[in-house]
Structure 1
Amino acid sequence: MNPEPAPAQNGVDLPHSHLRPGLARDGIVNLRDLGGTPAADGAVIAPRTLIRADALQRCSPASVRALYDHGVRRVLDLRDDAERVESGSFTVVDDLPIDVQHVPVVDPAYVWEIDGVALEQVLAHRYADILGAFGDRFAAAVELVASTDGAAAYHCAVGKDRTGLLTVLLLGALGAPREAIVADYVRSARVNVMQVARLRVLGHPYGAATDADLAVGVWSARASTIESTLDLLDDEHGGAVRYLRDAGVDDEVVASLRHRVLIRPDRTG
């Protein structure tokens, strides 16, 4: 029996709810299909085109097949080399035609200076640093997403910061309204609590995250944080499209991305 589709958003059915239980068993808990997100001129993002996630290196063979059946034809790993050595990489099974690309969007030598930064401003400060320093890397990731023949799934370690920033740029390039971008980002907040609990059980250093870290610090996913990031993009770069253009993304790439992933929902029902 086929699984029930997820509830429709903006007139578009989201047939991805069946992915979550299987991948969650592998420890992948911050996964979502961006289908149904409103975009420019009344369009929405088509299901099975953009999938954001955490830790896809944990995928079992069954989960790899589930992603393939969902339409995934390219996986972008946004982590650095050291993370891949420590935790492994997404592994294709059964010769499935899934292209795996390593696109580290932050240089491992990057030093995050937070002296004097208030706890509730730490993440916004970090995001501003990253966007200012690594535009070329985000540009490369966007170009790979735009050229994917099928669904592109992209991930980092916990699916919130690097994945979140790439999502902000993609949604901005697609003309998503600010409230939709913010709403997507804050969905990671509840998941982060589960992730920290899991890491605590495993004895991982990140399991030592405090309640303050989860509420307003580095493990948080607050609307005010991503609002600050959107303000930065608007005030210093003229928006996501201009940021990407300045980073080397041709307008034709953005047009191709929009053509590939945007649809107009049926409003006649």
Structure 2
Amino acid sequence: MSTDRWLHLDGTANTRDLGGLPTTDGGTTASGRVLRSDNLQDLSPADVHRLVAEIGLTEVVDLRTTAEILLEGRGPLRDVASVTHRHVGLLPERGLRTDVFAAEVDDDELRAQLPAGWGESVLPRQVGPGEEAEPPAVRSYLGYLTDSPDQVVGALRALATGGPGAAVVHCAAGKDRTGVVCALALAVAGVDSETIVADYALTAQVIDAIVARLAATDTYAEDMARPVEHHTPRADTMRRVLALVDQRWGGPLAWLEQHGFGADDQVALRARLR
């Protein structure tokens, strides 16, 4: 897959454009509409200028948990008045459903709500019935769809209705939570399964840099202590997830339809990405 969609920023390791991908009807996804990324709190002033002034970024869809945002920070884009931030956490927060962007990051009361053992909620491996034999990443991705469908739909709806400029969707590494949301978005845009798989696997090219960034933080250091191979995305992972979505729900579009992301939503997201 072409790698000219990468955005080489000072403060991220895994930012790229979802534009330029072929669709099944002979078209392509549009550039400068939706970006995918790892976390954004380390963006430099030059990065912010490039994203806002040159690319036209107007929306951030943050898939991290409340704990991650409070501990790692929202990043400099939070200070840009023209950029809207939407928090749509995909991981269970032990009942904590605070809208973190409604409060200041130094709010002691909000920090006090962090559950004991919050680190266990970072990158969990959820196991559903009949999934015991699946690889951990496959189980985790299926967990987003079965345990957090409203959040997945919310993230896609934010991408569909946001604007008028570009949007960036991100989590911590930009590969797991972001990978599933982007896979569904690309399916709506008419991108075929193997191209979706290839886009997901493209993150492997920068996995060393991703792991190095996360390992330097207290929040993710323990998880990053495992060998880099543990974190490297593999094409077979997303290929298996898409196959199971086909088997269980009739495909990505059918999953979306069954979970409230209907025809109008899909038309809006398709228009955003095409």
The alignment's TM-score, normalised by the length of structure 2, stands at 0.79
- The one-character-per-residue Cα deviations of 1:96-129 (angstroms, maximum 9, x if unpaired) are 41111111122223663569956x8111111112
Q: What's the CA shift for 1:152?
A: 1.2
2:250 aligns to what? 238
Whole-Å separation in 2 of the counterparts to 1:242 and 1:159? 25
User: Does residue 171 of the first structure (1) align with residue 186 of the second (2)?
Assistant: yes
The aligned counterpart of 2:14 is: 30
> Which residue of 130, 136, 142 corresponds with 2:144?
130
- Could you tell me which residue of structure 2 aligns to residue 100 of structure 1? 85
Instruction: Find the aligned partners of 1:57 and 1:94 in 2 and give their Cα distance.
Output: 11
Q: Measure the CA separation in 2 of the matches of 1:202 and 1:169.
A: 30
Give the unaligned 5+ runs of structure 2: 95-120
Give the structure 1 partner of residue 268 of structure 2. 256
Q: In 1, distance between residues paired with 2:26 and 2:268?
A: 18
2:153 to 126, 130, 139: 139
Once the 2 structures are TM-superposed, how far is the Cα of residue 201 of structure 1 from its aligned partner? 5.7
The 8 Å contact of residues 194 and 239 in structure 2, kept in 1 or not, is answered as: no
Alignment of 1:144-223 (within 5 A): 144-148=158-162, 149-200=164-215, 204-210=221-227, 214-215=228-229, 217=230, 219-223=231-235
Question: Do residues 65 (structure 1) and 77 (structure 2) align?
Answer: no
Render the CA deviation track for 1:124-170: whole Å, top value 9, x for unaligned.
Answer: 11111221111111111111100122211010000010000001110
One-letter identity of the residue aligned with 2:149:
G
Whether the aligned pair in 1 keeps the contact of 2:78 and 2:85 (CA below 8 Å) is no
Offset, 1:48? 0.1
Instruction: Report if aligned partners of 1:106, 1:134 keep a CA contact under 8 Å in 2.
Output: yes
Using the aligned pairs only, state the percent identity. 33
CA contact (8 A) 1:64 1:93 kept: no
Distance in structure 2 (CA, Å) of the matches to 1:8 and 1:87:
32
- 1:73 aligns to what SS in structure 2? strand
One of 15, 18, 40 as aligned partner of 1:56? 40
Q: Give the distance between the partners of 2:2 and 2:138, measured in 1 at CA.
A: 32
CA distance in 2, matches of 1:75, 1:201: 24
Q: Which structure's residues are more often strand, by fraction?
A: 1
For the 8 Å contact 2:57–2:168, the answer to whether it is kept is yes
Contact 1:154–1:163 (8 Å) recurs in 2: yes
Moved more, 84-93 or 191-200: 191-200
The CA distance in 2 between the partners of 1:248 and 1:241, in whole Å, is 11
CA distance in 2, matches of 1:105, 1:166: 10
State whether residues 30 and 158 of structure 1, in contact with CA within 8 Å, keep that contact through their aligned partners in structure 2: yes
The alpha-carbon distance between structure 1 residues 220 and 93, as it changes in their structure 2 partners (threshold 3 A), is closer
**Match for 1:136: what amino acid?**
D
Q: Which piece of structure 1 moves more, 103-112 or 41-50? A: 103-112
Structure 1 range deviating more: 237-246 or 79-88: 237-246
Kept in 2: contact 1:169–1:240 (CA 8 A): yes
Q: Which residue of 2 aligns with 1:91?
A: 76
CA distance in 2, matches of 1:150, 1:40: 26
Q: CA deviation at 1:199?
A: 4.3
Structure 1: any 5+ residue segments left out of the alignment?
Answer: 1-6, 263-269
What is residue 4 of structure 1 aligned with on the other side? none
Residues matched between the structures, number: 240
More displaced, 100-109 or 76-85? 100-109
Larger displacement relative to structure 2 (68-77 or 54-63): 54-63
In 1, Cα distance between equivalents of 2:69 and 2:158: 20
